[in-house]
Structure 1
Amino acid sequence: MTNSEIVDLLELTGRLMELHDRDTFKTRSFQTAAFNLDKSTADLSNLPVEELVKLQGVGKSVAQKIREIAETGRLTDLDELLAETPPGVLDMFRIKGLGVKKVRTLWRELGIDNLHDLQVAGENGEIAKIKGFGASTQEKILAALEFLQEQQGKVRMDKAAMIANLLRDELTKHFERVEISGQVRRKAQEVDTVQVLVQTNNPVSAMLTLGQLPNLEQNELESSPFAWRGKLAGFDVLVEILLYPAEQINRQLFINTAADAHLKQAGPGGTSLLQSAYTGSYVAENQSVDQVENAIYERAGLPYIVPEMREDEFAFRWARNHRNDELVTWDDLRGTLHNHSTWSDGKQSVADMAAYCRKLGLTYFGIADHSKTASYAGGLDAERVRQQQIEIDRLNAGFGADFRIFKGIESDILGDGSLDYDDETLATFDYVVASVHQTLTMSFEKATTRLLRAIENPYTTILGHPTGRLLLAREGYPIDHRAIIDACAEHNVIIEINASPYRLDIDWHWIEYAIQQGVMLSINPDAHDFAGLLDMHYGVAIGRKGGLTKAMTFNTLTLEEMSEYLQQRREQIRK
């Protein structure tokens, strides 16, 4: 059991105990333990009770529960609670804004125990009549239900890649060649079909093999002699395994990777990419995938487009002025600027995060812990800012000229668009990431005005996750992207591509306009631990999808260039 799995079970137990009005003290003990252990770097599954109780928020009773989870993969208390809870009530917790108390009220007072009945009650106006809800809450619930329905059956980019890799690893034990294709290969931020191609000259035998593999659950009605369709146990997303002989698999890898809108694009002679793929001969011995795909584009009279960009006609507009080797890559990144530590809600210290960055070959690490308004995340008041900066000075004194920690902060954008520190405190930072974290329900005009004022603040260096969205969980607040990007161009503000697969915000469709306006983008992991730093891979993928070049990526600047840039910005503010 991983730490996150253990914490999830503790958190769910605490939530259901509260739902069922269990002993308040015991309920709080589970909730407190889950909250504190979420930041723990200790290997919970391998710690004995006497070591677990030394961790913050963990008493002897909860420590024993953790041991039960680690040894059995289950928790008896939770199993009993789940037996008393309709599955649909658990689904109601997915609705943003519905906490335990509201879910309990809906269940107990209206008898609502599933999402369908919740929607009907909202449409009939019954929810608004309940004390403590009202028309506004009812409207938000209905909007959240609509959003969830639209996202059903989808997974984020990171989970899709994990599923695809699991499939490939298993299938390569049985088949000569297996290729990840479709949305996963072109790095879609949300995936509704995880697709792999299998090379075989005997589809009947291949289907029999697939039918014997563990964890594959076939949908026979949706399958065909050459296409296995179903799910991987434990994941609510369609899995598609397509069977092709050796002479077809390269062309089919191209066809299945590209979106329909991309395949319809035609060259000067009128030949579309789809026509080129089907009419050309691409079966030469030992031809690589790259050779075949290049030949398909060449036959159509079109420039080669990298897999990430095979969405629509945008890639060909981009290609008129750019080369593929201009696109940003992981190796181009020189540092990282939006990261958290144990000073706020991170899991590792500043020193450890910086050391891991050095191992990754980066030359600078920017710490941007939460600011004072984010008290729920251990945000730093002015005194703690000063203490952290003293620590950073001490750490920097131990580095050579090839590495540096920059002093940043993720300053909350308040409701009126101001930042949550005075100018004297803001002036102590090397840079400021300005982000919205609270009061996310805003009109188009309110959200845009709020961000515009933050951008106008001379201390704002980077605009963090501009829409505040959480993929598959929460829509972003509506903003006038053009006005925001134009303002960033006017005030020399960088826009973040938040590389967390939960966010990927700003959306890739706006990268082209930002570049046209001369606005640089920073691929920021918003990392809270070592693994989070690697999320920059997702940011690179989304950046490439939107045509982001190395030249327009802020954190491809060298250490010397970044130091000079930030120093000049501070000097301009002082003038």
Structure 2
Amino acid sequence: MTNSEIVDLLELTGRLMELHDRDAFRTRTFQTAAFNLDKTTADLAQLSVDELTKLPGVGKSVAGKIREIVETGHLTDLDELLAQTPSGVLDMFRIKGLGVKKVRTLWQELGIDNLRDLKLAGENGQIAKIKGFGANTQEKILTALEFLQEQQGKVRMDKAAMIANVLHDELIKHFERVEISGQVRRKAQEVDTVQLLVQTSDPISAMKTLDNLANLEQNEPESSPFVWRGKLEGFDVLVELPLYPAEQINRQLFIQTATDSHLQQVGNGGFPLLQIAQTSTMAEVEAETAEVEAAIYARAGLPYIVPEMREDDFAFRWASRHRNDELVTWEDLRGTLHNHSTWSDGKQSVADMAAYCRELGLTYFGIADHSKTASYANGLDSDRVRQQQLEIDQLNAGFGQDFRIFKGIESDILGDGSLDYDEATLATFDYVVASVHQTLTMSLEKATTRLLRAIENPYTTILGHPTGRLLLAREGYPIDHRAIIDACAEHQVVIEINASPYRLDIDWHWIDYAMQKGVMLSINPDAHDLVGLLDMHYGVAIGRKGGLTRAMTFNALTLTEMSDYLQRRREAKIK
């Protein structure tokens, strides 16, 4: 049992207790414990009841519940609540803006216990008539339902990669060659099909082998003699396992990785890339995948395109101006600038985060904890800012010339576009990441105006997660991307590629435009713990998909270059 699994069960228990109007005090004990334990770095599964009670927000009763979860894998209290709750009511908690009280009202007053009935009630105008709801809430519910329906059966990049790797490790025990392909190899930010190519000369036997694997559930109507389709137990996303002989697998890996749009690019002789790939005569069995793919592009008279960029014809336009070796890589990153610590809502100290950065071979670590308005995230007031900066000074004194912690802040962009803090406090930071966290429901005009004012602020160094989106969970607010990027170019503001697989914001489609305007992009993990720092791998993948070059990657600057850049900006503000 991981900490997150334990916290999820406690949180769900508290939510269902509130839904069923159980004792308010007991309900709060579960909710408080879940809130506090979400921030702990202690391994909850290894702690005794006495040790658990020493943690903030954990009494003896909840400590006992945690031990029950660890030892049995479930919680009796939760099992009883789940037995009294229709599964469709649980689905309603996924609707943005529907808290426990509203879900309870919909269930008890309208008898709605599933998303289908919720949609019908909204379309019929019944929700708007309920006290405390109204037409505006009804419209938001319908919009959220439509968004959820569009995301059904999809997983984020990180989960897709995990599923693909689990499948690969299992399948390779039974087949000579297995290759991760399709959307996962192409590093798609949202994946609806996890595809792996399986090498076999005997499809009938291969199908029997797949059917006998414990965690695979076949969808027989959707499968065919040469393609197994189904799901991995516990996940809703489609799994597709095409079967190919050895002499075809390399060319099929190329074909299955690229989108149809990319494969329709016309090459020599007026033939599309797909046709050239299908008729490739290269001896594939002995060749490496890269050799075969390079040979296909060469035969078509087209430049070689890396797997991440095989989305459409954009890659060929990009290749007319750039070389593949210009694309950013993990090795190019020299530091990281958007991270959180225990000073706000992070799980590790500044010292621990910095130490791990050094282990990763990075030469600088930027702390950007939440600002004072973000009270929900324990945002720093001016006094705590000074205390944190003193701590950073002490830590920096212990480093040599090859590593440094930069003093940053993730300043909330307030409703009118101004930044949190007065100018005197803002001036104490090495850099400022300006981000929107509250009042996310905005028109295009209002959101754009709000961001433009923040960009014009001389203290803004980096524009954080520009649309505020959460992939598969929340649409971003609409913005005029061109106007925002143009303003960043005018005011020399860097744009963040938020590398968290939950965000990946700014969207990769806008990276090339930003580069053309001379705007640098910073691959920021938005890390709240040590593992979160590794999310920069996802940011690199998305950066490469959008054609991001090493030269235009802000945190590819060396320590000296970054120090000089930030110093010049500070001097310019003083002037």
Deviation at residue 435 of structure 1 after TM alignment: 0.1
Does the 8 Å contact 1:448/1:484 carry over to 2? yes
Aligned residue runs from structure 1 range 158-169, under 5 A: 158-169=158-169
Would you say 1:112 and 2:149 are equivalent positions?
no
CA contact (8 A) 1:248 1:283 kept: no
Greater CA drift, 331-340 or 266-275: 266-275
Quick check: 1:291 aligned with 2:270?
Answer: no
Task: Quote the residue 2:562 is aligned against.
Answer: 562
Q: Which residue of 2 aligns with 1:477?
A: 477
Residue 142 (structure 1) aligns with: 142
SS in 1 for 2:511: helix
Q: Is the contact between residue 250 and residue 284 of structure 2 (CA under 8 Å) also seen in structure 1?
A: no
Q: Equivalents in 2 of 1:284, 1:128: separation in Å?
A: 63
Amino acid paired to 1:107: W
- Name the residue aligned to 2:393: 393
Per-residue CA distance 1:253-298 (angstroms, 9 max, x = gap) = 0000000000000124212110111111133442000000001101
Q: Does 1:410 align with 2:415?
A: no
Q: How does 1:195-210 map to 2 (within 5 A)?
A: 195-210=195-210
Give per-residue Cα distances to partners, 1:462-492, cap 9 Å, x unaligned.
Answer: 0000000000000000000000000000000
Whole-angstrom CA distance in 2 between matches of 1:498 and 1:285: 40
- Deviation, structure 1 residue 44: 0.6
Cα distance in 2 for partners of 1:108, 1:384 equals 46
- Within 2, Cα distance between the matches of 1:337 and 1:297? 38
- Alpha-carbon separation, structure 2, partners of 1:110 and 1:422: 49
SS of match in other structure, 1:262: helix
Matches within 5 A, 1:490-501: 490-501=490-501
Per the alignment, residue 194 of structure 1 pairs with 194
| CA–CA distance in structure 1, aligned partners of residues 283 and 385 of structure 2 | 63
Q: Secondary structure at 1:228's aligned position in 2?
A: strand
What are the equivalent positions in structure 2 for 1:1-400 lying under 5 Å apart? 1-400=1-400
Q: Does 1:468 align with 2:468?
A: yes
CA distance in 1, matches of 2:525, 2:103: 34
Counterpart Cα distance in 2 of 1:180 and 1:239 = 11
For the 8 Å contact 1:261–1:313, the answer to whether it is kept is yes
Residue pair 1:93, 1:99 contacting (<8 A) in 2 also: yes
One-letter amino acid of the structure 2 residue matched with residue 551 of structure 1: A
> In the aligned structure 2, how far is the partner of 1:120 from the partner of 1:283?
58
Residue 45 (structure 1) shift: 0.8
CA contact (8 A) 2:248 2:284 kept: no
What is the distance in 2 between the residues matched to 1:142 and 1:224? 37
CA deviation profile, 1:430-488 (whole Å, cap 9, x unmatched): 00000000000000000000000000000000000000000000000000000000000
SS in 2 for 1:269: helix
2-side partners of 1:34 and 1:517: how far apart?
A: 46
1:335/1:365 contact within 8 Å kept: yes
Structure 2 letter corresponding to 1:401:
Q
Partners of 2:139 and 2:445 in 1: CA distance: 19
1:4 is aligned with what amino acid?
S
Q: Separation in 2 of the partners of 1:105 and 1:219?
A: 38
1: CA distance between counterparts of 2:487 and 2:125?
Answer: 42
Letter in 1 for 2:256: N
Q: What TM-score do the two structures reach when normalised by structure 2? A: 1.00
* Aligned mates of 1:264, 1:39 — CA distance in 2: 49
| Counterpart contact for 1:348–1:529, Cα < 8 Å | yes
In 2: Cα distance, 1:153 partner to 1:280 partner? 35
Q: Does the 8 Å contact 1:153/1:238 carry over to 2?
A: yes
Cα separation, 1, equivalents of 2:306 and 2:256: 14
TM-score (norm 1): 1.00
Kindly report structure 1 stretches of 4+ aligned residues shifted beyond 4 Å: none
Identity, % of aligned pairs? 84
Deviation per CA, 1:334-359, whole angstroms, max 9, x where unpaired?
00000000000000000000000000
- The 8 Å contact of residues 156 and 502 in structure 1, kept in 2 or not, is answered as yes
Partners of 1:132 and 1:268 in 2: CA distance: 65
CA contact 1:382–1:425 (8 Å) conserved in 2 = yes
Q: Tell me the number of residue pairs that the alignment of Structure 1 and Structure 2 aligns.
A: 575
2:523 maps to what in 1? 523
Look up the SS of the partner of 1:371 in the other structure. coil
Shift of 1:360: 0.2
In the alignment, the residues of structure 1 paired with residue 481 and residue 140 of structure 2 have an alpha-carbon distance, to the nearest angstrom, of: 23
Letter in 2 for 1:62: V
1:111-161 CA-to-partner distances (Å, cap 9, x unmatched) read 111101111111111111111111111111010000000000000000000
Q: Give, as a single letter, the amino acid of the residue that structure 2 aligns with 1:451.
A: L
2:406 aligned counterpart, secondary structure? strand
**Change in CA separation of 1:103 and 1:231 when aligned onto 2, cut-off 3 Å:** same
Q: Secondary structure at the match of 1:229?
A: strand
Letter of the 1:431 partner, please give it: Y
CA distance in 2, matches of 1:110, 1:443: 31
Q: Do 2:268 and 2:299's aligned partners in 1 also have CA atoms closer than 8 Å?
A: no
**Alignment match, 2:533:** 533
Q: Is the 8 A contact 2:498 2:525 kept in 1?
A: yes
Q: Residues 387-443 of structure 1: CA distance to partner in whole angstroms, max 9, x if unpaired?
A: 000000000000000000000000000000000110000000000000000000000
Counterparts of 2:43 and 2:174, CA distance in 1: 35
1:432 and 2:445 correspond: no
Q: Deviations over 1:221-242 (max 9, x none)?
A: 0001111100001001000011
Q: Distance in 2 between matches of 1:467 and 1:337?
A: 19
